[in-house]
Every structure is written in C-alpha cells, then in structure tokens.
Chains A and B, each alone.
Chain A
Amino acid sequence: MYELIGVWCIVLLTLSIFSYLYGDNPFYKVAEHIFVGVSAGYIFTITFWDTVWPNLFGRLFPKYVQAGFEFDIIYIFPLLLGVFMLFRLSKKYQWLSRISIAYIVGMAAGLKFYVFLNSNLLAQIQTSGVDLSGSYSSIINDSLILFGVISGLVYFFFSKEHVGTLGKISRIGIYFLMIKFGASFGFAVMGRISLLIGRFEELIEFSKPEYYYSTPVILIIMVITLAYWSFRANNENKENVV
C-alpha cells in the first residue's frame, strides 16, 4: 500500500515538473515548493544526526552520545564556532559570526591553495610537455595540446594589445576554447537526455496494471486541469481587455 502511494507521488511530481514545458502553472509551482522543502529538511536532518550528533556531541558528551568516540575537549572550539554562526540572526551580536566565517574562509583557502597548486597547476604543466621519446602520433597529439594550452592562455593575457603575432595566436586560442565549449555543450545535452530517459523509464514502468495505471491516469487528469486552467486564464484576459 505504502509503495503504491509512493509510486503515485513519484508520477504526480514528475509530471508536474514536466508540465513546466507547457508553461508556468500551479502543478509545477506545488512540485517545486515540495522539492525545495523536502530537500532542505532532508539535508538538515541527515547532517545533524549523521555528523553533528556523533562527531561533535559524541566527543563532548561520550557518556550520553555513544558514537564510539572518546571525550575530547578540543571539540569545544567547533561547538563555539557553530554557536557563533547562529548569531547572524541577532543584530547586536552579529559580529561574532564573522569569527566563524573567518576560520572557514582561512582554512579552506589555505587547504585549497596547496592542493590546487599541486594537482592542477604543477601536475598539469608537467603533463602538457611533449614526450619526444613517444610515437609520432603521440608527439603530434602532445604538440597540439601544448599549442592549445599556450594559445588559450595568450587569449587571457590582457597586458598587451592583441595585434600582430599575439593577435593571431590569441585568435587560435579562441578556436580551441570554442571546441571546448562545444564539447561541454554536447556532453550537457547528453546528460539531460539521459535524465529524461531515466524519468520516462519509470513513467513507463508505473503505467502497468499493478500500479493501477498511475501514469496515464495522472496524465489525463493533469491535461484536463491544465486545459481548463488555460481556458479560464484566456477568458479572464479577454474580459480584462474589454
């Protein structure tokens, strides 16, 4: 019984979101609000019970919160920083939240700086080089990548006017960037189609008699309601014009 209710909810919400393709309508609005509310609630609950409760309170009050951690007084600092963050809601003590934000920004920037330098900059520079000991095809491939990297970087070099040789190289850089954007667009389309296939597959599955034809039933009800709603909106518009 619960599974059946779940299935009907899935179909109703999926078709409600798809109805936006026809135009903004109440079905879409309701589905959108439910999605935002449920997502926020789910993330808050799972974050509190799976992270804050065991990892923080489990260390500060191990007798009461038995999460397998031992007492560790140093965790009083994350607790304080977390409480400070909540002072954003108070006008008088709002300044306390800046301490927490400063810690987060400083720590994240420091960590990111090192890992980005190591994995993205140094490793990528190293592999952008041409391996002359490789086969002819790999040398051509590597040279093309190296030229693409240099010309792409030249395009973003704004300290000198892009004329003459610099202009030509930067122009080639644009072509390399266009190829990248084209590939990104192609992959984005592929991803969206994949998601559509996933939804359609479920809608087809839920059209079966064991689910009481949930997809066609909800689709027909929705189409009739949207047609009526559209007809009424048109009439109201005409009356307003008159």
Chain B
Amino acid sequence: MNKVKKIFIKLGHVDRRYIFFAIALSVLIPLLKPSWINIPIKTTSNSETVFNELNNLNEGDRVLLSFEYGASTKPEIHPMSIAFLQHLFSRGVKVYTVPLWPEGLMMANYALDEVIDSKLFNVKEHIDYVSFPYKAGGSIVIRGIATDIRSIYSQDINNILLKEIPMMEGINKVTDFDFVIDLSAGMPGNAEWVQYACDEYNVPLTSGCTSIMVTDAIPYVESGQIRGILAGMPGAAEYEQMVFKLLNNTSSKKFMNENISIVPGKATSRMSAQSIAHLLMVIFIILGNISYYLIRRSNN
C-alpha cells in the first residue's frame, strides 16, 4: 500500500513537460491515424436549434454574417463559418458578411473562397452575397448597423458603391435583415450583438463562438435572446454533420451543382483528437487530486 502511495506522491511531482508531451501525443495520434479512434458525434439541443432556425429561412431571405475571430481561434470557428455558408447558399439565402475584427476580413474571404471554390453552389458576388470591409469601433459599428448601415459603409470590399449593388436595395438597418449570425471569439461578439442591435430591434440572432465564451453566452440562449448556440469545436462538428446530411438528402438541389461531391467539414475529423485529449486531462486531474490529498495527509 505504501508503494502505491509513493507512486502517487511521485506523480504529483512529475515534470510538467512530460504532461505536455502526453497531451501532444493524445492529439497527434488520432490526427495521424483517424481510423484507430472513431467516436460518434451526438447533436445537442442548442446546435439543433441553430440548424432548425436557419433551415426555416426562405429563398431570398437576407442574413447578416458577422466575423469576429482571427487566426488564433480559426480552428474552432472557421468550420462553423463554412458550414453556415453552405447551409445558407443551399437554401438560396442572400448573405452579407461583416468583419468586426481586423482579421475578420481575411477569415470572411477565406470562408467564402473555400465555399465558392468547391463549386457546390451556383452563387455570384453581388447577387447572392456581398462582403463589407472592416470598420474599427466594435460595438459602435454594431450600433451603426442597427440604425443606419449606410452611414458606416458606402462601398463593399471591391470599392463598388452600395447603391450600385442590386442585393443592397432596401438594406438600410438591421431590421432589414431576416437573421443575424454571429461568429465570435471575444469582444465585440455575441453579447454586443444582443445588446446593441438584435435585442432592441427584435431581429433573430444566433451565434457560433469559442468554447471559452459559452458559459457567458448561455444566459442569452436560455432567455431566447440568442437562438441556439454552436459551442466551440464540438458545436461546429455537430452543425457540420447536420448540414452534411441535409446537403446529401435534400430533394431540391435548385441552388447546388449536382455533379460535385459533398465532403464533411474539418471539425468532424478533429473530434476524436479532442475527445482523447479530454480523457487524458480528466485522468491527470484525478491523479493530481489523489496526489495532492496524499501529500497533504503525509505532511499533517
């Protein structure tokens, strides 16, 4: 028994670099050998709400897609952006992208390029989607979009005047959009969209955000101020799966090119690595607590 105790106490003093190495392996192995570990993904009610809300949109409805993330949070949010664009384009919805972070412009362009280059959808700029440039100000820009979008934006990212873009006709404020989707990794993020625009003007809002933001955003989801939420990479994987099923099974492929194969998104393939790393973390926490308890008792 004493030997076991000693092992646990020694584990408590192990060099943290071994733990880093173990975590690195737990992530690396499932990524290198995805066939070894295959953990099924179950959809949660929050992700289903997001999917159902967007699935209820009609052809020609207008959706504002706000990009508030950068390279540092790309692995979590970017798969959501692509899945959102695929879902919206598959339903013939008009998309308006707004970057509120300096890097958001790059992320919006990457996401649009990826979806357009896949040639899965028959979409054209200024007819099916329009991209706004970055404007500094964060929550003030959101307030501006809520009250008078043309006081902030006069051109799109290609310096085309908004009055010359057909799909900008009748778009003057946030109430002219049928839905707002927020992709956020910090501030400004979903809280600012709730506070400065959607709550006051009663425009439906949903969000895909980083895991770390979820506990702060959940009260808005519970109150219905945000309609469902995609929580980090698991949320992205769940939504990807629902969109993948929809694109494969949909009877009406009016807006899609039928000869192009549909591939599942990146978040789904990353979930095995996520699950194994979490399992290891749990084991480390349990071992750490046992060791801490034994050290404290032996000191007493």
CB neighbours of A116 from chain B (8 A): 195
Interface positions, chain B 91-145, Cβ under 8 Å from A, are: 102-103, 105, 133-137, 139, 143
CB neighbours of A152 from chain B (8 A): none
- Interface-centre pick from A68, A184, A190, A201 (highest chain B CB count, 10 A): A190
Could you tell me how many residues of chain A have their Cβ less than 8 Å away from some Cβ of chain B? 44
Per a CB cutoff under 8 Å, which of B74, B136, B211 touches A198?
Answer: B74
Question: Are A55's CB and B196's CB within 8 A?
Answer: no
B58 to chain A, nearest CB (A): 28
Q: A126-B223, A191-B210 are in contact. List 5 more A-B contacts (CB 8 A).
A: A47-B102, A68-B155, A68-B161, A119-B220, A194-B270
Q: How far is the CA of A120 from the CA of B231 in the complex (A)?
A: 21
Nearest opposing residue in chain B for A149, CB measure: B219
A34 beta carbon closer than 8 Å to chain B? no
B215 to chain A, nearest CB (A): 5
Q: How far is the CA of A197 from the CA of B194 in the complex (A)?
A: 31
Could you tell me how many residues of chain B have their Cβ less than 8 Å away from some Cβ of chain A? 56
A153 beta carbon closer than 8 Å to chain B? no
CB neighbours of A118 from chain B (8 A): 195, 199-200
A233 to chain B, nearest CB (A): 16
CB neighbours of B222 from chain A (8 A): 127, 145
Interface positions, chain A 193-211, Cβ under 8 Å from B, are: 193-201, 204
Question: Are B17's CB and A22's CB within 8 A?
Answer: yes
Question: Are B212's CB and A188's CB within 8 A?
Answer: yes
Q: How far is the CA of A195 from the CA of B71 in the complex (A)?
A: 10
Question: Are B200's CB and A197's CB within 8 A?
Answer: no
0/1 string, B52-90, CB within 8 A of A gives 1: 000000000000000000001111100000000000000
Q: Would you call the interface of chain A mostly helix, strand, loop, or mixed?
A: helix
CB neighbours of B211 from chain A (8 A): 187-188, 190-191, 194
CB neighbours of B133 from chain A (8 A): 50
B residues contacting A by CB (< 8 A) are 17, 20, 23-24, 27-28, 31-32, 72-76, 102-103, 105, 133-137, 139, 143, 152, 154-155, 161-163, 194-196, 199-200, 210-212, 214-215, 219-220, 222-225, 231-234, 266, 270, 273-274, 277-278, 281
CB neighbours of A196 from chain B (8 A): 23-24, 27, 277
Question: Are A21's CB and B17's CB within 8 A?
Answer: yes
Q: How far is the CA of A94 from the CA of B23 in the complex (A)?
A: 51
CB neighbours of A191 from chain B (8 A): 73, 76, 210-212, 232
